A and B are shown apart, each in its own frame.
Chain A
Amino acid sequence: SQQGEEDPQALSIQEGENATMNCSYKTSINNLQWYRQNSGRGLVHLILIRSNEREKHSGRLRVTLDTSKKSSSLLITASRAADTASYFCATVDSYGQNFVFGPGTRLSVLP
């Protein structure tokens, strides 16, 4: 079964609004990463947050991590139509062997 679970499964917003996606996971992690995927193409790495970090920023992206609740959130501020994509969280366990992905959040940003 998948470790990460994103919420919501789909999100539709207007350009300029903020988009928040949540991710929950089940086991101890080394780090958590967020990826974007456009129309079934390859995954683009957005941001990595380590298990000893609580918040991280990158441009219009803000990621939080709460290891006590085993959850993370991705905030995209001032969204653009080009942000339309599927967003996945992926965890790397303590063995660091592979990624475990959630089912993703499909974000639609309407112009």
Chain B
Amino acid sequence: ETGVTQSPTHLIKTRGQQVTLRCSSQSGHNTVSWYQQALGQGPQFIFQYYREEENGRGNFPPRFSGLQFPNYSSELNVNALELDDSALYLCASSLGPGLAVFGPGTRLTVT
């Protein structure tokens, strides 16, 4: 049984660019959630996908979008990057409420 994996581990982008982050959920998990964690803060919920449909969204603008694929893996896309988007992006997969497994995260730096 593999855990949650994320790619890339880290990347650097320029303001205004677009970025795609990827997450492979744990085997058998059908729900994926994405979180943004700014330096020194707790993770903030971005959105959740359940069986390829968005199933809840936090207080993030529409330039944050996502996808979930039939194998339950997921992507987080961020358009028009801003400096404040620099953060650790965490993916979590789960089978039910409150039973999530977190990935190691992708560190995004926007310059």
Residues of A in contact with B (beta carbons under 8 Å apart):
2, 4, 30-31, 33, 35, 40-45, 48, 88, 92, 95-104
Q: Which B69-111 residues sit within 8 Å CB-CB of chain A?
A: 88, 90, 92, 96-98, 100-105, 107
Q: How would residues 15 to 46 of chain B score, 1 for a CB under 8 Å from any chain A CB and 0 otherwise?
A: 00000000000000000010101011111110
- Pair A99/B88 contact, Cβ less than 8 Å: no
CB contacts (< 8 Å) of A88 on chain B: these are 42-43
Summed over the interface, the residue pairs from A and B with CB atoms below 8 Å come to a total of: 64
Contact A102 B42 (CB under 8 A): yes
Interface size class of B (residues with CB under 8 A): 20 to 34
For residue A102, which residues in chain B have a CB less than 8 angstroms away from its CB?
A: 42
A88 to B92, CA, bound (A): 15
Q: Which of B33, B97, B100 contacts A30 (CB 8 A)?
A: B97
Of B39, B48, B88, B98, which is in contact with the most chain A CB atoms at under 10 Å from its CB?
B98
Bound CA span A101–B35, Å: 10
- Chain A: which residue is nearest B55 at the CB level? A97
Q: Are A2 and B42 in contact (CB under 8 A)?
A: yes
For residue B98, which residues in chain A have a CB less than 8 angstroms away from its CB?
Answer: 30-31, 33, 48, 92, 96, 99
Bound Cα distance from A15 to B83, whole angstroms: 39
